[in-house]
Amino acid sequence: MKIALAQLNYLIGDFEGNLAKITGAVSEATSKGADLVVFSELAICGYPPLDLLERKEFINTCNHSIEKLATILDPGTGVLVGSPEFNTSSDGKLLFNSAFFLYEGKVQQVFRKALLPTYDIFDEYRYFEPNREFNILHFKKRKLAVTICEDLWDEQPFENEFSRSMLYTTNPLEELHKLGPEAIINMAASPFAHRKMEIKQSIFTGKAARYNLPVLYCNQVGAQTELIFEGGSMAIHPSGRVASKLPLFREDILISDLNELIESEPPLSTGVIPDRIGTMADALICGIRDYFGKLGFKTATLGLSGGIDSAVTLALAAEALGQENIHVLLLPSQYSSDHSVNDSVEMAQNLGIKYNILPIEALFYQFRKSLEPLFENLPEDITEENIQARIRGTLLMALSNKLGNILLNTSNKSETAVGYGTLYGDMSGGLSILGDLFKTDVYLMAEYLNREKEVIPVNIISKPPSAELRPNQKDSDSLPPYEELDQILEAYIEKQLPLEKVTEMGYEPELVNRIIRMVNQNEYKRYQTPPILRISSKAFGVGRRLPLVARY
């Protein structure tokens, strides 16, 4: 039996478009001899549909799409495709997260997801009832265990010390193994996280080795708002070695001969994990491209300051959207250095990007003059710095409104964490590109983007970072060195370690206390930021929910 894994990029709610992708993939796989074609979790409607699942007409359309798909496919090819399903029982949630087996023009069998994640970005128990009855797919004299994403993730090596390695009381694969399957199929919608690639692969290779069964893992690809799915679908030998694997961030189809997979010697390769920074760059480019493409936008703008954050954002956006679709503004103040403007011009010219220089000094003067009666000769402070940032935000939004561009936010995760940014100023935008990238990784990303030629001028990478909102300002005036700050932030935010554990890493309690206090006090700012492309295991946004009003 030949099984095809169809790694596709869906659009949530685009039923006709998704069906066209699915039927096209089935046709291609069938022409290459596939007996069974496997698609990812909730492929019919796209993942994650969120509260669209609470609309009856949305679920009805999913059902009609399944029925239509069954009738238009080659009746001799089996298809496993994910879709929500009404729970006909009078008890429990209204829906199941299901996999439909289509063959000979109709739905032959339905398999339901047992483990419903409710951590980080996931909130599946909000919508779905967990499966409690397990059965096997019998197809062409083979017995196949069909699982949906989390059903193979009952064991997880969490970084958070306040977590259990066993998240659930049910082990779906243990139940299915009792029924004597010859292979395991997993239909997934598993989002990308740059430090989880090896862990994710080890979960599937570990299951194959434990049960001495091949695992066929089909993951979706492409971005849905802030979530980015890398694909990386793979066929795993019963020994636990990766036999074949699809590329990341690209639609593709993998066809495996189940007989060969079971009977062959273990492959030499164990599945190479790609370079972390390079994969992060690919993820962000995918996120930008899909956010624009799926919304129907083509053009972007941003403020090019001469700093490393806006430079990296521009380089990624140019790769994702094309240089002809970007228009940047250089917005120097009286505090901006000449080299900041020159460096920005050089970078725009390196990429062939359209740019304009709009000095803000005269506008800043008018703001101060208008506010003089209110401020009554009070000394200048952060207020005047924020006014400059908001003038820049206003000019960028004006260009965005007039020309139909999306404004790209350039704030990094380090700044966003400690509130080192101005609401309605440099925190403005329709999409945050670097909001899940610590500053130290921004520098590594710049070096990666310059690996073949100098896209980002070396001076931008080498000079000390500064907001340039007051004379001789540097980030280090307000923040500890980023090498220290980022380690503390990662420990507190992503690993969720308490203060005493962070100080055990070698940092002064006073410094750790100060940083944690800054993180906690600036939750209100993060609540108002644009969507942040998620590339870590704990990003700001829907996966990190904290009260704005609290005393902790």
What are the C-alpha distances in Å from 16 to residues 247, 289, 524?
26, 21, 40
Average pLDDT rounded to a whole number, residues 291-315: 97
Two tokens, residue 349: 């010219």
What are the C-alpha distances in Å from 393 to residues 330, 356, 426, 491, 530?
12, 15, 6, 32, 13
Residue with tokens 């609540």: 527
pLDDT of residue 163: 58
What are the C-alpha distances in Å from 334 to residues 59, 67, 311, 384, 385?
57, 65, 21, 12, 12
Instruction: Specify the amino acid at residue 137.
Output: L
Q: Distance between CA 186 and CA 238 in Å, rounded?
A: 15
pLDDT of residue 17: 98
Q: Is 99 left (phi over 0), alpha (psi -120 to 50) or beta?
A: beta
The CB density around residue 160, as the number of other CB atoms within 10 Å, is 13
Specify the range with the lowest mean pLDDT, choosing from 71-80, 331-340, 399-408, 437-446.
Answer: 331-340
Cβ atoms of 531 and 431 within 8 Å: the answer is: yes
DSSP labels, 353-388: -EEEE---HHHHHHHHHHHHHHHTTPPP-HHHHHHH
Instruction: Go through 215-233 and write b for each residue having 16 or more CB atoms within 10 A of its CB, e for each that does not.
Output: bbbbbbbbbbbbbbbbbbb
Q: Is the dihedral of CA 438, 441, 443, 449 positive or negative?
A: negative
Residues labelled catalytic: 41, 113, 149
Instruction: Specify the amino acid at residue 255.
Output: I
**Chain segment 494-545, per-residue pLDDT in tens:** 999 999 999 999 999 999 999 999 999 999 999 999 999 999 999 999 899 8
Task: Tell how many helices (H) and how many strands (E) occur in the chain.
Answer: 17, 19
**Chain segment 223-263, per-residue pLDDT in tens:** 999 999 999 999 999 999 999 999 999 999 999 999 999 99
Q: Distance between CA 497 and CA 488 in Å, rounded?
A: 9
Q: Distance between CA 124 and CA 158 in Å, rounded?
A: 19
pLDDT of residue 160: 61
pLDDT band at 469 (very low <50, low <70, confident <90, very high): low
- Kindly list the structural domains of the chain, giving each domain's residue range(s) and its CATH number in brackets, ordered by start: 2-274 (3.60.110.10), 280-526 (3.40.50.620)
pLDDT of residue 466: 73
Report the run of H or E that residue 303 belongs to, with start and end. strand 300-303
Report the run of H or E that residue 311 belongs to, with start and end. helix 308-321
pLDDT of residue 170: 87
Is the pLDDT at 158 greater than 60, yes or no? Answer: no
Cis peptide leading into residue 464 (ω within 30°):
no
471 or 125, higher pLDDT? 125
